[in-house]
Each structure stands twice: as C-alpha cells, then as structure tokens.
C-alpha cells in the first residue's frame, strides 16, 4: 500500500502546501502526491484556493502523482493529456481518475486494489486496511 502526501504534506498541514519544492521533497521520501491545479490568467498553477506557482509539467506526469483539478477551465485545458493522472470532484462519494484509480471521499472506503482512501483531519484510519492502492493523508509520518 502506498501513502500519498495530500498537497505534499507528510507531517501535518503547513503553509508550503502545493509548493513545488515541498511536493518534490515528499515525493523524494517515496510517497505519492495529491496536488491541486487551478487556472488563472490563461496559465495553470498549483494551489488549492489561490494560484501559487506555475505547474511543473515533469512533476505532474510522474507515477503516483494524482492531480486534483480545481476548476472547469483546468479540466478543459488538460483533458487531452493522457500522461497526467487527474480527477475532479466536489462532494462525490468517489470518482475515477483518468488512469483508472478510485478516489474515495473520506469515510467512503471502497475495497479494491485501485482504491485510494482519503483520510484527512480527524478521519480515522481503519485498524485493518485491505488490499487497496493507497491512503492520501496529511500526517504520513505518524503511521
């Protein structure tokens, strides 16, 4: 099972979320990444609520990087890209990524080898974890 660093976080939420060097550091530790991408002024940026840094095209095409598109324009601009594993969701119980992974909303833990459970904030990690692909979280170092 793979741990996926939510916005690059490995030891709790910080102000460095979605910053390129922070993301690369989490990836260098052997974790997958969930990154947020949004559109602003005809460019694509990392950032959850606001644009932060222009995207790093090499980083977003790496294995185990899951790109969360934050707005419709980002979807329009990236929909043709087969090399990026991306998804968009609002409050859906689960969604499929473009590479066929099942991204599960917190508490909707689907058991499948391609499932990724989202365990954020106070969402408890189940004591028994079946054969799933991974868990996306902010506090990987506590595991």
How does pLDDT run across 85-122, given as a tens digit for each residue? 999 998 899 999 999 999 999 889 999 999 999 998 86
CA-to-CA distance for 15 and 88, rounded, in angstroms? 23
Cβ neighbors of 105 (< 8 A, separation 6 or more) are 89, 91, 92, 93, 94, 118
d(CA 63, CA 42): 26
Per-residue pLDDT of 21-54, as tens digits, reads 999 999 999 999 999 999 999 999 999 999 999 9
Alpha-carbon torsion 134, 138, 141, 143, what sign?
A: negative
pTM value? 0.95
The predicted pLDDT at position 95 comes to 98
Residue with tokens 């408890």: 124
Q: Which residue has the higher pLDDT, 127 or 62?
A: 62
The pLDDT value given to residue 102: 98
Q: How far is CA 110 from the centre of its chain?
A: 17
């Amino acid at each position: 099972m793979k741990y996926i660093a939510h916005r690059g976080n490995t030891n709790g939420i910080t102000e460095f979320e979605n910053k390129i060097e922070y993301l690369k550091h989490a990836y260098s530790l052997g974790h997958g990444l969930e990154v947020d991408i949004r559109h602003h002024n005809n460019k694509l940026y990392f950032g959850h609520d606001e644009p932060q840094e222009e995207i790093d095209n090499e980083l977003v095409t790496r294995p185990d990087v899951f790109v969360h598109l934050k707005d419709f324009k980002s979807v329009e601009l990236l929909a043709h890209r087969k090399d990026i594993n991306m998804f968009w969701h609002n409050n859906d119980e689960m969604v499929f990524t473009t590479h066929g992974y099942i991204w599960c909303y917190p508490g909707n833990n689907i058991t499948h080898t391609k499932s990724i459970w989202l365990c954020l904030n106070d969402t408890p990690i189940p004591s028994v974890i079946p054969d799933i692909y991974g868990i996306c979280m902010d506090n990987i170092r506590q595991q």
